[in-house]
C-alpha cells in the first residue's frame, strides 16, 4: 500500500511538473510572437516613406523659389512652361536651357504687362545689350542672350509679392515666348 501511494505521488508530481513545463513553454512562444508584429509594421511604414517624400519635394522645389529651370521648346519660339513662381525676398536662380539648333534666346523677368514694351526698347538697344535696354526699371533680372544649344542662369532676389512676366526679348520672340512669374 505504501509503495503504491509513493508511486502515485511520484506520478502526480511528475504530471504537475510536466504541466508547469508545458505552461512555461507555451508562454515563451507568446512572448516572442508578440514583438514580431510591431517589428514588421514600422518596416512597412519606412518602406512607404521614401516614395512619399520625393513626391512632395518635387512640387515644392518648383514652386517655392530657390532653383528654377526653364527651357526653350524646340524651334517653336515658346518656353516649355507657362508659369514660374518664387517666394518674395528669397534668392532665386533660374537656369535657362536653349536646346534650339538655330534660335538665340534670352529670359527677362519684367513687371506685369510690360513684356512687349521692354522687348521693343530691347530691340532698339541691340544685341550687344542682350536685347535689354540698359537701366530699364521695368526689368527685374535677365540672362544674357543664349546661342543655340547654350544654357545660362540668372540669380536675383524675388521682388514684392505679385504677378510678373518672363519673356524672351530677342526681336520678334516676345509675342509667343513668355509666361507668368508669380511671387508669393
Residues that bind Cu ion (CB under 5 A): 105, 168, 170, 173, 177
Beta carbon of residue 71, minimum distance to Cu ion (angstroms, whole number)? 12
- C-alpha cell at position 15: 504530471
Please, which residue, 70 or 92, has the CB nearer to Cu ion? 70
Please, which residue, 105 or 138, has the CB nearer to Cu ion? 105
E-assigned strands of the chain? 67-71, 83-86, 91-97, 108-111, 139-142, 151-157, 162-167, 178-183
- C-alpha cell at position 176: 509667343
Which of 166, 171, 79 has its CA nearest to residue 129? 171
Beta carbon of residue 170, minimum distance to Cu ion (angstroms, whole number)? 4
Q: 30 — phi, psi (to 5°)?
A: -65, -40
Beta carbon of residue 60, minimum distance to Cu ion (angstroms, whole number)? 29
Polymer length of the chain: 184
Beta carbon of residue 66, minimum distance to Cu ion (angstroms, whole number)? 25
Beta carbon of residue 167, minimum distance to Cu ion (angstroms, whole number)? 9
Q: What is the DSSP pairing of strand 108-111 with strand 178-183?
A: unpaired
Please, which residue, 65 or 165, has the CB nearer to Cu ion? 165
Please, which residue, 115 or 173, has the CB nearer to Cu ion? 173
Residue whose C-alpha cell reads 522645389 in the numeric block: 61
Please tell me whether residue 78 adopts helix, strand or coil conformation.
coil
Please, which residue, 138 or 173, has the CB nearer to Cu ion? 173
Amino acid at each position: 500500500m505504501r509503495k503504491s501511494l509513493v508511486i502515485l505521488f511520484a506520478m502526480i508530481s511528475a504530471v504537475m511538473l510536466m504541466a508547469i513545463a508545458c505552461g512555461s513553454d507555451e508562454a515563451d512562444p507568446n512572448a516572442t510572437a508578440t514583438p514580431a508584429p510591431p517589428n514588421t509594421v514600422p518596416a512597412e511604414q519606412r518602406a512607404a516613406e521614401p516614395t512619399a517624400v520625393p513626391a512632395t519635394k518635387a512640387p515644392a522645389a518648383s514652386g517655392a523659389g530657390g532653383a528654377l529651370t526653364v527651357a526653350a521648346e524646340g524651334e517653336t519660339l515658346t518656353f516649355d512652361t507657362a508659369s514660374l513662381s518664387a517666394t518674395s525676398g528669397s534668392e532665386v536662380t533660374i537656369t535657362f536651357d536653349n536646346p534650339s539648333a538655330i534660335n538665340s534666346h534670352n529670359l527677362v523677368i519684367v513687371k506685369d504687362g510690360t513684356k512687349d514694351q521692354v522687348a521693343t526698347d530691347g530691340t532698339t538697344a541691340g544685341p550687344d545689350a542682350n536685347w535689354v535696354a540698359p537701366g530699364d526699371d521695368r526689368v527685374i533680372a535677365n540672362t544674357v542672350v543664349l546661342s543655340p544649344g547654350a544654357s545660362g542662369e540668372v540669380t536675383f532676389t524675388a521682388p514684392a509679392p505679385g504677378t510678373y512676366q518672363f519673356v524672351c526679348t530677342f526681336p520678334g520672340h516676345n509675342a509667343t515666348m513668355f509666361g507668368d512669374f508669380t511671387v508669393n
